[in-house]
Amino acid sequence: QEQRRRLLAVATRFPLPSGTFSYGTAGFRADGATMAPAVCRAGILAALRSVKLAGAAIGIVITASHNPVGDNGVKIADPDGGMMAQHWEPFADALANAPDPDALLQLVLQFAKDEGIPLGGQDTAQVLLGRDTRPTGAYLLDAALQGINAIVGANAIDMGILTTPQLHWMVRSKNKGAKASESDYFTQLIGSFRRMLELVPKDKGGDEVAKKLIVDGANGIGGVKLEQIKVELSGLDIIVRNSGKEGEGILNHMCGADFVQKERVTPHGFSPDDVSVRCASLDGDADRLVYFRLSSASDSRVDLVDGDKILSLFALFIREQLDIINNSGGQTNKSLSARLGIVQTAYANGASMQFLKSLGLEVVFTPTGVKYLHKRALEYDIGIYFEANGHGTVVFSEDFISQLESLSNGLSSQAATGSAQYHAVMRLLAASQLINQAVGDALSGLLLVEAILQYKGWSFQNWCELYSDLPSKQMKVKVKDRSVIVTTNAETKVSQPCGLQELIDKETANYTHGRCFVRPSGTEDVVRVYAEASTQVEADSLTKSVAHHVE
Ligand code: 16G
Ligand code: ZN
């Protein structure tokens, strides 16, 4: 009775606006001012999910990532810190679109019955909440709290203004029974970064690797957090631009990882004086990371290091440590059995795939969206995934981590802590602590990049030269109904409408190294066209001619 009363009351307080919500690739997203009903319902859903999972902590993040400051959104994290299990998405959609309080109540009761979710108990659910710096954030956080509190026995914990990956990390840590506050997060990041630097060979690091790093914070939360910890990152001299301070500019406007990766020009706040300095760019909620460098002092074009090249650096480093451990013929003849897998999407530059395969690595593809890549990466002992746009991380299996731990114990009991093998084991352990295994995290990714550059004694230029990107082009095409396009094979082929794939193949055959695919966007009402070819002119022209067939 109390449960029914609360649900009806909260649904009455947040009547549905016009338009429909769809959980999409990354949760619900819309104009921030219209989001309260959907966010409130996401709160109900998160609490139900926690009840279903025996009270395990669930996360809610209120953010619209790289989208304009007026937008906002809501996303739910599962107990392992990853994205909410996909089989709950249809319920999320139904709940968000329930037309009136009665319909909402019936939907919840029916779903609870079908899923075996016991309603009405005490202390049955806990939900951690975080939000980014958007002006509608506090208002929407309140709507989420009201949604959570509409489920009897649910406890909500507001973790404050955070990056998206911080909240995912907290959920994961909490459910592992580990410390889960923001200061615990920073302690882990700073501590493991320091250990990585201590393990840099003495002949490396030094002067080749410039300590200076300029970070474009997208005027979002990532810059704020980086300012907070940068003094503790010895070995790095970090300057934050677009830090989100009063007067520095608008969130994601002419800055941030999405802008830099798509436009390939310097973000707002950079000048010709920055030429040749290593720069990084985060997005508004700090789950995307790209690097860049001003190409010349005379214009604003940049040399871009995208997610593919970050992935390649990580893969190279991890592969090297595994080789040291297994081939050093050193103190122990125990070797590690580790399945190392790389996960990319169709947007990965063809040159990156060639490079990774030339290292003998297993490379697989999934559709766009972190939820698909992450899940696939978990199938390996070490799974490395990245989207070209800078979303990505490394995940380690528990079994592999315990193999490393026992190897390190064995080596130290043999007084072999000076061996190359021991150092490689310790580097992998430190990397597994530094990288955020819940979800892609620009801050932790940035520190891992910096540690690896120092380890290798590499400049930005050395990193760039791992391989050269094939020229590529992206275009959006506005269509009446994007759902008429259906794709298969990790979005590389069109299965519907009939005949479109043949047209794409025919156009592509006219170009050397030509590759092209089209897919309906998961976040906007458009169809995206992507093409690669051996010159920029050819890539542009292939994109254009295929876009013409889509219109
Ligand atoms: C979302 C996804 C991102 C993906 C993008 C594609 C997450 C956390 N974010 O931002 O991974 O690259 O959508 O957008 O999964 P699109 O479908 O509009 O091209
Ligand atoms: Zn983001």
More confident residue, 345 or 246: 345
Ligand 2 mean position, distance from CA 440 (Å) = 9
From the CA of 82, how far away is ligand 2's center (Å)? 14
In 242-370, the DSSP E strands lie at 278-282, 289-294, 302-305, 340-344, 362-365
pLDDT of residue 93: 96
Pocket residues: Cβ below 6 A from ligand 1: 25-26, 65, 368-371, 387, 389, 391, 521-524, 528
User: What pLDDT, on a 0 to 100 scale, did the predictor assign at position 20?
Assistant: 86
Residues 398 and 285 in one domain: no
pLDDT, mean of residues 504-518: 96
- Say whether 389 counts as a known binding-site residue: yes
| CA distances for 84 relative to 79, 80, 380, 441, 443, angstroms | 9, 9, 20, 17, 22
Residues 56 and 153 in one domain: yes
Domain-embedded: residue 190: no
174-224: pLDDT as tens digits: 999 999 999 999 999 999 999 999 999 987 755 567 899 999 999 999 999
Rounded-to-10 torsion of CA 157, 162, 165, 170: -30
**387 known member of a binding site:** yes
Select from 244, 275, 305 the last residue of a domain.
305
Q: Is the pLDDT of residue 382 over 70?
A: yes
Q: Which two tokens stand for residue 15?
A: 């009547």
Please indicate, yes or no, whether residues 367 and 410 belong to a single structural domain of this protein.
Answer: yes
In tens, the pLDDT along 113-158 reads 999 999 999 999 999 999 999 999 999 999 999 999 999 999 999 9
How many domains is the chain partitioned into structurally?
4
Segment 154-172, tens digit of pLDDT: 999 999 999 999 999 999 9
As a whole number, the mean pLDDT across the chain is 95
Q: Which atom, in ligand 1's list, is nearest to the CA of 65?
A: 10
Q: Please say whether the beta carbons of 429 and 404 come within 8 A.
A: yes
pLDDT over threshold 80, residue 424: yes
Which run of H or of E encompasses 329?
none
| Same domain as 375, residue 301 | no
Tell me whether residue 299 is annotated as binding.
no
d(CA 46, CA 43): 5
In a domain, 494, yes or no: yes
Say if residue 478 is in the same domain as residue 407.
Answer: no
Confidence of residue 416 (pLDDT cuts 50, 70, 90): confident
User: How many whole angstroms separate alpha carbon 219 and alpha carbon 133?
Assistant: 9
Do 133 and 15 lie in one domain? The reply is yes
What pLDDT shows up at residue 57? 98
User: Has residue 131 been placed in a domain?
Assistant: yes
Is the pLDDT assigned to residue 301 strictly greater than 90?
yes
Ligand 1, atom 11: closest residue by C-alpha: 369
272 and 316 belong to one structural domain: no
The position carrying tokens 């300012």 is 227
471-495 tens-digit pLDDT: 999 999 999 899 999 999 999 999 9
Q: What's the pLDDT at 207?
A: 58
Q: Hey, which bits of 170-256 come out as E strands?
A: 212-216, 237-241
**Residue having the nearest C-alpha atom to atom 5 of ligand 1:** 369
Cα 371 to ligand 1 centroid, rounded to whole Å: 10
Instruction: Identify the nearest ligand to the CA of 387 by its number.
Output: 1
Mutate to test the pocket of ligand 1, among 523, 526, 528 (most ligand atoms within 8 A of CB): 523
If you compute the radius of gyration of the chain from its CA atoms, what whole number of angstroms results? 24
Judged against a pLDDT cut of 60, whether residue 399 lies above it is answered with yes
Looking up tokens 């809501």, which residue turns up? 74
pLDDT(450) > 70: yes
Distance from residue 134's CA to the centre of ligand 1 (Å): 19
Share of the chain above pLDDT 90, in %: 89
Q: Can you give the pLDDT at residue 433? A: 98
Residue 199 maps to a domain? no
Cα–ligand 2 centroid distance for 38 (angstroms): 19
Last residue of a domain, one of 151, 177, 203: 177
Structure token digits, residue 411:
């080596």
Q: Whose CA is nearest to atom 4 of ligand 1?
A: 369
Instruction: Looking at the structure, tell me whether residues 233 and 369 fall in a common domain.
Output: no
- State whether ipTM is beyond 0.90: yes
390 located within any domain: yes
Are 97 and 156 part of one and the same domain? yes
Provide the pLDDT for residue 329: 57
Q: Is 72 annotated as a binding residue?
A: no
| pLDDT given at position 295 | 86
Lowest mean pLDDT among 131-145, 150-164, 334-348, 527-541: 334-348
Q: Residue 529's pLDDT band (boundaries 50, 70, 90)?
A: very high
In this structure, the strands spanning 340-344 and 362-365 are: parallel
User: Does the predicted TM-score (pTM) go above 0.80?
Assistant: yes
Query: Any idea what the CATH number is for the domain that residue 156 is in?
Result: 3.40.120.10
Same domain for 169 and 30, yes or no, is yes
CATH number of the domain residue 426 falls in: 3.40.120
**Which of 25, 29, 285, 386 should be mutated for ligand 1, with most atoms under 8 A from CB?**
25
Residue 496 included in any domain: yes
pLDDT exceeds cutoff 70 at 277: yes
- Does the annotation flag 388 for ligand binding? yes
For the annotated catalytic residues, the residue numbers are 65
Q: Does any domain span residue 515? A: yes
**Does 228 share its domain with 276?**
yes
pLDDT over 60 (residue 331): no
Here the CATH number for the domain that contains residue 503 is: 3.30.310.50
In a domain, 449, yes or no: no
- Do 115 and 101 lie in one domain? The reply is yes
Q: What is the pLDDT of residues 4-53, one digit of tens each?
A: 999 999 999 999 887 789 998 889 999 999 999 999 999 999 999 999 99
Single out the residue in 424, 441, 458 at which a domain terminates: 441
Q: How confident is the model at residue 535 (pLDDT cuts 50, 70, 90)?
A: very high
Q: What is the domain extent for residue 480?
A: 472-550
Q: What is the band of 328 on the pLDDT scale with cuts at 50, 70, 90?
A: low
Distance CA 151, CA 47 (A): 7
Output the residue whose Cα is nearest ligand 1's atom 3.
369
Residues 6+ away with beta carbon under 8 Å from 344: 308, 311, 352, 353, 363, 364, 365, 373, 385, 386, 387
Q: Is the pLDDT of residue 335 over 80?
A: no
